[in-house]
């Protein structure tokens, strides 16, 4: 009786070994091999490339600030009707945008000297638009991190009101 059980167990072990061996062969056959000689992956180089891509991406934030947003018109009591960064740019006809070579048509904002002339910022506020607002710093006259949005008329400027926003700096100064 033990002899029969012993043979049966041996027989089952052999069958199990054959089944496992055939599955192992199938796994090896399904592996793909590459003849590419550049098999090493340098993760630090990949990280540098990602950082380089972010730096070259015109819509990635270079810096982020929080400050007041207000609206103003070209002929406000403390305004002289010209832009601090571009005095010859005509805004007395209600122009509130500037056609930037890289960003296209963008709104005009006043900033303190914290942001160089020509800086591009992006912010969101439902008082101005349901979409992100892209603006260029072409005027001065505010303090700290505040932005003053050039408006076509006094009613629009009053509608902008005063609110605290967070804005991203996409470009610091002209062409940087």
CA distance 133 to 167: 10
Q: Is 50 left (phi over 0), alpha (psi -120 to 50) or beta?
A: alpha
- CA dihedral of 69, 100, 94, 115, whole degrees rounded to 10: 30
Indicate the range of 4-8, 26-30, 161-165 predicted with least confidence: 26-30
Residue showing tokens 């061996």 = 21
Please give the pLDDT value at position 147.
97
Please give the pLDDT value at position 9.
77
pLDDT tens for each residue of 88-99 = 998 988 899 999
What is the Rg, in whole angstroms, of the alpha carbon atoms belonging to the chain?
Answer: 33
Cβ atoms of 164 and 66 within 8 Å: the answer is: yes
Confidence of residue 50 (pLDDT cuts 50, 70, 90): low
Would you say residue 138 has pLDDT above 80?
yes
Would you say residue 106 has pLDDT above 90?
yes
* Domain-wise residue ranges, the chain: 61-171
CA distance 147 to 165: 9
- Among 42-51, 52-61, 81-90, name the most confident range: 81-90
**What is the SS3 assignment for 148?**
strand
Cβ atoms of 136 and 98 within 8 Å: the answer is: yes
Please give the pLDDT value at position 80.
81
- CATH no. of 61-171: 2.40.40.10
């Amino acid at each position: 009786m033990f002899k029969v059980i012993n043979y049966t167990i041996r027989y089952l072990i052999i069958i199990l070994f054959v089944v496992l061996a055939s599955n192992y062969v199938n796994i090896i056959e399904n592996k793909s091999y590459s003849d590419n000689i550049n098999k090493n992956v340098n993760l630090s180089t990949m990280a540098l490339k990602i950082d380089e891509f972010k730096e070259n991406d015109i819509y990635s934030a270079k810096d982020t600030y929080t400050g007041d947003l207000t609206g103003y018109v070209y002929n406000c009591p403390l305004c002289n009707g010209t832009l601090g960064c571009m005095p010859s740019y005509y805004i007395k006809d209600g122009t509130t945008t500037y056609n930037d070579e890289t960003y296209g048509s963008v709104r005009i904002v006043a900033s303190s000297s914290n942001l160089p002339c020509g800086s591009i910022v992006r912010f969101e506020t439902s008082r101005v638009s349901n979409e992100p607002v892209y603006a260029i710093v072409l005027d001065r006259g505010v303090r700290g991190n505040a932005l003053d949005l050039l408006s076509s008329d006094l009613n629009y400027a009053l509608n902008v009101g005063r609110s605290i926003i967070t804005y991203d700096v996409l470009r610091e100064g002209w062409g940087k």
